[in-house]
Chain A
Amino acid sequence: MPVGMIERVGRNTNNTLAAFGDFCVFVARTILWIPTLFRWKNLRLLFPQMYEVGVRSVPVIAVTGAFIGMVLAIESHTTFKTIGQEYRLGSIINLSVVKQIGPVLAAVMLAGRIGGALTAELGTMNVTEQLDALRVMGADPIRYLVVPRFVACVLLTPILTIYSDLLGVIGGWLISVKFLGVPDAPYWYYSAQAVDNYQIFEGIVKSIFFGGAIGLISCYKGFTCGAGASGVGRACTESFVMSFIAIIILNFFFAQMLKEIYIAVYGIKGIF
C-alpha cells in the first residue's frame, strides 16, 4: 500500500477522533451550563427559542404526521383485506405511528427545519466574529446561545412528536374508516388492543433524545463552521446529515433496549 494512502488514512482518523473529542467537550460544557438557565436573566433567552423550535414547527409536523397515517392506511389495507383482516387495520397503523414512524419522521423533519436554521444562524455569527464578540464581553457563547436552543429542542421535540402522532392516528382513521370502509368500532377496538401506554411512552422517550441530538449537533456545526458563505452552507448540510444518522442510530438502540424492558415487564404480546 502506498505510503501516501496510509498517511491520508492516519490523518483522517486523527482528525475524526479530534473532532469527536471536541464534540464531547462541547456536549459536556453545554450540560454543565444548563443549571444557569433557571436564573431569570438566562430564562428569558429560552422563550424565543421555544417559539422558534416549537410554534414555528407545528405546520410541518402536522402535515408529516397526518400523511404518515394516511399512507400507512392505503398501503396496509390491500394486504389486510386479502387475508380478511381489514378490521384489524387500526392496530398496525397506530402501532407504527406511535412507536416508530411518527417519532422518527417528526425528528427528521425537525432536523431539517430547526437543525438547518440553528446551524445557519450560529455559523453566520461565527464567521462574522459575533461569537468572539460574546467571548470578549465575558459571556460564554455556549451558555448564551447553545443552552437555550438545546433545552428548547429537548423540551419541544416530544411535544411535537405527540402532536405528530395524534395527527397520524387521525389521518389513518380518516382513510381507513371514511374512505376504505373499515368498520369504526373494530378499528378502535383493535387499535386499543395493540397500542398500550408503554408504546406511547416509548415514542416519547426516544423523541427527547432525538431532540437533544438535533440541538447539540446543529449548534456544534454552527460553532465550528468554515469561513465564508460556503463554510456556513457546508455546515448546514453536514448538520442535517449527522442529525439524521444520529436519529436512526439512536432509534435502533432504543428499539432494542425498550423492547427488552417491555418483554421483561409485560412479556411477549402479539397484535393478532
Chain B
Amino acid sequence: MSLIELRHVSKRFGWLVVLDDVSLAIETGKSIVIIGASGTGKSVLLKHIVGLLKPDEGEVWFDGQRIDTLPERKLMDVRQRFGFLFQMGALFDSANVAENVGFPLVEHTHKAPDEIREIVQRKLALVGLPDVGKKMPAELSGGQKKRVALARAIALNPEVILYDEPTTGLDPIRSDVINELIIKLQRELQVTSIVVTHDMNSAFKIADRIVMLHEGHIIFDGTPAEIQKTDHPVVKRFVLGEASEMELAEIGKVAGTAPSPPIREIEGK
C-alpha cells in the first residue's frame, strides 16, 4: 500500500490552474524527485501532501487516512510525522540555531532541557554542523541555513521528509553536500523522501523515481534511467536544459520591439 496518495487533485489560484487532475502514489522508504519548470506547481503539490494547502478538487491520503478534510488541530498530529525543508530554510530569526532545532522537541515532547540539548547536538552533528548551536540564523551562510533547517526537520525522527528545492541558490559544491546529506538521511533514518527541484544533477543523484510536472499535469513518471531514454519532447528538453522554439521566439520578440541606437551614435550627439 502507498504511504502517500494524491487522487485527482486540482488546485487553482484565481484564474490560474496550478494542478489539474493530478494523481500520484508514493511508496514507503522510496526517494521520489518531482521536477518541472518554475511555476509548474511543484511546491504547491508538496504543500498539499502536508496539508498546508487544500485541494479544490480531489483527495490527499496519508497512511490510509484522508488528510485534506481534517481540521487544523488534527492535522497537527499528522504533521509531526513529516519533516519539511523549506526553500529558504524558514529558520526563526529571533531564535538561535539550537532553539530552532529544538523547537519541535519543546513543542511535542516532555523531554528535559538537558535531553533536548543532547538531541539537538546529535542532529546538528548529523548535518555536519556540530558547533553552530549558539549562532543566530543571520550569521549562517545559505548552505548552513539549509543544513540547520534539515536538522530541525529531522528533530522528531519523521517518517517522511519533504524537500522544497534544497539546492536552489547554492554553488555546485554546497549543492552536492546537500545531495549527499539527503542520501545519507535516507539510508540512515530509513525515511521516505520527496524532493522538489529543477536541478537535474540533484535529481539523478537522489532519485529512485522521477516525476515531471508540466502545466499542472504529470507528464513523466519513471526511474532516472528511463527519463534519460524518453522521447517525450518536453521532458527531453528539460533534462538537457534546452529552450523550446516558442521560448526562444519570446526573447526575439523582446529584442525586436525597440532596437537601441549604437553607442557611438549617442555619444556623437
Q: Do A and B come from one complex?
A: yes
Among candidates A124, A130, A135, A139, residue contacting B52 with C-beta atoms closer than 8 Å = A135
Q: Tell me, yes or no, whether B80 is within 8 Å of chain A by CB.
A: yes
Residues of A within 8 A of B92 (CB): 125, 130, 133
User: Contact at B50–A136, with CB atoms within 8 Å?
Assistant: yes
Question: By the criterion CB–CB under 8 Å, are B79 and A135 in contact?
Answer: yes
Contacts of A138 in B (CB 8 A): 76-77, 79-80, 104, 107-108
Q: A122-156 toward B: CB 8 Å interface, digit per residue (1/0)? A: 00110011101101111110000000000000000
**Chain A residues, Cβ within 8 Å of B249:** none
What chain B residues lie within 8 Å of A133 (beta carbons)? 84, 86, 90-92
Q: Does B93 contact A (CB under 8 A)?
A: yes
Identity of the chain A residue whose Cβ is nearest the Cβ of B164 in the assembled complex? A129
B88 in contact with A128 (CB, 8 Å): yes
Closest A residue to B162 using CB positions: A136
Interface centre among B50, B82, B90 (most CB of A within 10 A): B90
Contact A139 B88 (CB under 8 A): no
- Interface membership of A41, Cβ < 8 A: yes
Q: Across the interface, which residues of B come within 8 angstroms of A140, CB to CB?
A: 72-73, 76
> Would you call B189 an interface residue if the criterion is a C-beta within 8 Å of the partner chain's C-beta atoms?
no
Interface size on A, residues (CB 8 A): 14
Task: Write the nearest CB–CB distance from A161 to chain B, whole angstroms.
Answer: 28
B87 on the interface (CB 8 Å rule)?
yes
Binding site for A on B (CB under 8 A): 47, 50, 52, 72-73, 76-77, 79-80, 82, 84, 86-88, 90-93, 103-104, 106-108, 152
Residues 105-135 of chain A: 1 if any B CB is under 8 Å from the residue's CB, otherwise 0? 0000000000000000000110011101101
Residues of B contacting A132 in the complex (Cβ-Cβ under 8 angstroms): 47, 52, 86, 90
10 pairs from A and B in contact (CB 8 Å cutoff): A41-B106, A125-B92, A130-B90, A132-B86, A132-B90, A133-B92, A137-B104, A139-B107, A140-B73, A140-B76
Can you name the residue of chain B whose Cβ is closest to the Cβ of A133? B90
- Listed residue (A135, A136, A139) with the most chain B CB atoms within 10 angstroms of its CB: A136
Known contacts: A135-B52, A136-B84, A140-B72. The answer to whether A129 contacts B90 by CB under 8 A is: yes
* Among B84, B87, B91, residue most surrounded by chain A Cβ atoms (within 10 Å): B84
Contact A137 B50 (CB under 8 A): no
Cβ of A129 and Cβ of B88 under 8 Å apart? yes
In the bound complex, residues from chain A placing their C-beta under 8 Å from that of B104 are 137-138
B83's closest neighbor in chain A, by CB? A136
Are B72 and A137 in contact (CB-based, < 8 A)?
no
- Residues of A contacting B76 in the complex (Cβ-Cβ under 8 angstroms): 138-140
Residue of A nearest to B110 (CB): A41
| Minimum CB–CB distance for A29 against chain B, Å | 9
Q: Which 9 A-B pairs have the closest CB atoms?
A: A133-B90, A129-B90, A138-B76, A136-B84, A138-B80, A138-B79, A129-B86, A137-B104, A139-B107
Bound form: Cα–Cα A41–B107 in Å: 8
Bound-complex Cα distance A132 to B90 (A): 8
- Shortest C-beta distance, A52 to chain B (Å), equals 11
Inter-subunit contact A136/B79 (CB<8 Å): yes
A136 & B106 in contact (Cβ 8 Å cutoff)? no
Give bound CA distance, A130 to B84, whole Å: 12
C-alpha gap A125/B92 in the complex (Å)? 8
Taking each of A41, A130, A133, which has the highest tally of chain B beta carbons within 10 Å of its own beta carbon?
Answer: A133
What's the minimum C-beta distance from A153 to chain B, rounded to whole angstroms? 18
Cβ contacts under 8 Å, A124 to chain B = 93
- Which residues of chain A come closer than 8 Å to B107, judged between CB atoms? 137-139
| Complex-state Cα separation, A125 to B95, whole angstroms | 13
Once bound together, how far apart are the Cα atoms of A136 and B87, in whole Å? 14
Q: Which residue of A lies closest to B79 (CB)?
A: A138
Q: Which residue of A lies closest to B107 (CB)?
A: A139
Query: Which chain A positions have C-beta within 8 A of B79?
Result: 135-138
Q: Is A136 within 8 A of B72, CB to CB?
A: no
Give the complex CA separation of A108 and B86 in angstroms: 38
Contacts of B47 in A (CB 8 A): 132
CB distance from A124 to the nearest CB of B (A): 8
Instruction: State A124–B108 Cα separation when bound (angstroms).
Output: 25
